[in-house]
Structure 1
Amino acid sequence: MKLTSICKAIALSAAVLCSSLQAETVYVATTAIVEHPALDAVRDGIKEVLNENGYTDENLKFTYESAQGQPAIAAQIARKMVGDAPDVIVAIATPSAQAAASASKDIPVVFSAVTDPVGAKLVSTLIQPGGNVTGLSDMVNVKQQLALIQEFLPNLKTIGVPYNPGEANSVSIVNALKEAAQEVGVTVIESPAPKSSDVMIASKQLVGKVDAIYCSTDNTIVSAFESVVKVGMDAQIPVFAADTDSVERGAVAAVGYDYGDLGRQTGDIVVRILKGEKPGMIDVKLAEGTSLYVNPKMAAKMGIEIPAAVLARATKVVE
């Protein structure tokens, strides 16, 4: 009888050990080029979907590292992650995605918040891209955003764009905006800001030259967005954004994606890979759903009013 008790104890210990080992089998390593509300929302949305699909603190190792806006640090993080051998690497924003794709030859890489994954050379095609990389593109509809700005400023002639020429996604958006603006007789004036510390200067260089300032999903600009807002208030130039999170930080308006939703859409891809699908067989997903955010208080501080038609269809009015 004593032997039976010992056997039961051994069996119970083995079951606990087995359960413990299983609890550590899923490892998702996440990184982003910089921390700001939009990219943080992507990360949080990914984790929400993982939790909803049964990957919780009991059986999920979920890590996150920021490259603090530095591509060189992004490359170091990517190499470290590959050495840690996670089940999936999730890279948020183009520079981090490029670093992860370059470092990993077999570990699945899922990118998110990448404007032009083909142009960034992450994949050669959006349909079943092959290899170990797939993800989600947040290519913005610049025509839709330009049309919104024109509703505020019917006589719009010039629009200023601070941007980081070293970010492939930003260059793609600026080029698309210039094409769209040319069609409606609007001139785009670029103002380079290679680093977050350059954003204030780049914004000031647009004063006296433009009717409005437009900030795309450029991570360098968004990370220092308050600098653009200050210039807009001081010079009475309305500031518009491509992401809705920036409206809560001071933009007059934005028609764009809710980046929490984009994180959830990315999380769906991660779950598919964890369940056995090959990343190369999963089509790159184009972000779905747009929202219209407006900020009446900031509009007044920048010398304009929100048109009644815009206010009536706004998804959210930031108070």
Structure 2
Amino acid sequence: MADGKFERLPALAAELVQLKVDVIVAVASPAISAAQKATATIPIVMATTGDPVSSGFVKSLARPGGNITGLSNMGGDTGAKDVDLLLSVVPKLARIGVLVSPTSTTYRAISESVKAGAQKAGVKTLVAEVSTPEEIERAFAMMARENVGAVIVGAAPFFSLRRPQLAELAIRYRMPSIFGNRAYVEAGGLMSYGQNYLRAASYVDKIFKGAKPGDLPVEQPITLELVINLKTANALGLTIPQTLLLRADEVIQ
């Protein structure tokens, strides 16, 4: 995503418009906003975003109107499930770290969701807000000092640019980790539970076959996928329960 420099997005979007591409696929709100400002005619497919209605990307989820449609993670409240999955791996878990970034419009909602789920499970939480790579480093060191036994990383455009760093730090500090999509697990994270953003490709296919973006309903999370990285589990000295492996949609060896 513009090498992490969000200020480059408008120029990149304008370049795509000048190239007269058939479809623009935009990941996360900053990219969607830049594409929206660059064109009102080229179809734009959202690979993920929070609330596209309040963000002004679409008129409604059922009838987007305009030239934008795609995926929304709105309603994909996974805080309690994330806590449950971590407890399946670390049954004696006493404290969970919650890493969020103000670059996401939903970071407060993510924190509250995890807190509520953890409270029901009798687990304490420690929330860390970060916006730079250096703050990520400091947050993990702080969580380790505070005896955090696992970490939940909330969805944020900034984090999508720091996947290898997040995975490496979680292993370095011996913290089982869970993320919102599979790309983090492919980068070395332990688990992910969330929407499969590759489903955005189905929108591109429909548009190429003649469908209008404004007529294609925005898809909210219905079926969430669980992905587990066994190599990371081994690096952490963890044995993933067979029952959890059988529930996984994919296990990365």
TM bin, normalised by shorter chain, reads 0.7 to 0.9
Distance 1:91 1:179, change over 3 A: same
State, as a whole percentage, how many aligned pairs show the same letter. 28
For residue 187 of structure 2, the aligned residue among 249, 259, 271 is 249
In the alignment of these two chains, the number of paired residues is: 250
* Shift, 1:123, TM fit: 2.5
Aligned equivalent of 1:234 = 172
Q: What is the CA–CA distance in structure 1 between the aligned matches of 2:29 and 2:112, rounded to whole Å? A: 17
Cα–Cα, structure 1 residues 126 and 309, in superposed 2: closer, same or farther, change >3 Å? same
Question: What is the TM-score with the length of structure 1 in the denominator?
Answer: 0.67
Is contact 2:98–2:152 with CA below 8 Å preserved after alignment? yes
| Unaligned 5+ runs, structure 2 | none
Query: 2:158 aligned with 1:220, yes or no?
Result: yes
Contact (CA 8 Å) 2:175, 2:236: kept in 1 or not? yes
Conserved 8 A contact 1:164-1:195: no
1:102 is aligned, of 37, 43, 48, to 37
Q: Indicate whether 1:174 and 2:111 are aligned.
A: yes
- Opposite residue 23 of structure 2, the aligned amino acid is V
Pairing 1:23-38 to 2, within 5 Å after superposition: 34=1
Aligned to 2:239: 305
From the superposition, tell whether residues 84 and 125 of structure 1 become closer, same or farther in structure 2 (CA, over 3 Å).
same
Aligned counterparts of 1:230 and 1:208: Cα–Cα separation in 2: 18
CA shift digits 1:233-279 (9 cap, x unpaired): 33322222222332233222233344xxx33x323323333444332
Q: TM-score, normalised by structure 2?
A: 0.82
Amino acid at match of 2:213: P
Change (3 A) 1:295 1:241: same
**1:148 deviation in Å?**
0.9
Deviation at 1:110, TM superposition (A): 1.8
CA distance in 1, matches of 2:5, 2:109: 20
Alpha-carbon distance between aligned partners in 2 of 1:289 and 1:307, rounded to the nearest angstrom: 22
Kindly state the Cα deviation for residue 151 of structure 1 after the two structures are TM-superposed: 1.4
Report the Cα offset of residue 73 of structure 1.
0.9
Q: In structure 2, what is the equivalent of residue 202 of structure 1?
A: 139
**1 CA distance for matches of 2:241 and 2:115?**
25
> Which amino acid in structure 1 is aligned with residue 233 of structure 2?
A
Question: Structure 1 residues 175, 279: CA separation in 2 closer, same or farther (over 3 Å shift)?
Answer: farther
Q: Which is further off, 238-247 or 69-78?
A: 238-247
Shift of 1:170: 4.6
Q: Distance in 2 between matches of 1:170 and 1:184?
A: 21
The answer as to whether partners of 2:178 and 2:193 remain within 8 angstroms in 1 is no
Gaps of 5+ in 1: 1-33, 35-66
CA shift for structure 1 position 287: 4.6
Aligned positions of 1:1-319 closer than 5 A? 34=1, 67-139=2-74, 140-142=76-78, 143-209=80-146, 210-258=148-196, 262-263=197-198, 265-287=199-221, 289-319=223-253
Instruction: Tell me how far apart the structure 2 counterparts of residues 118 and 179 of structure 1 sit (CA, whole Å).
Output: 26
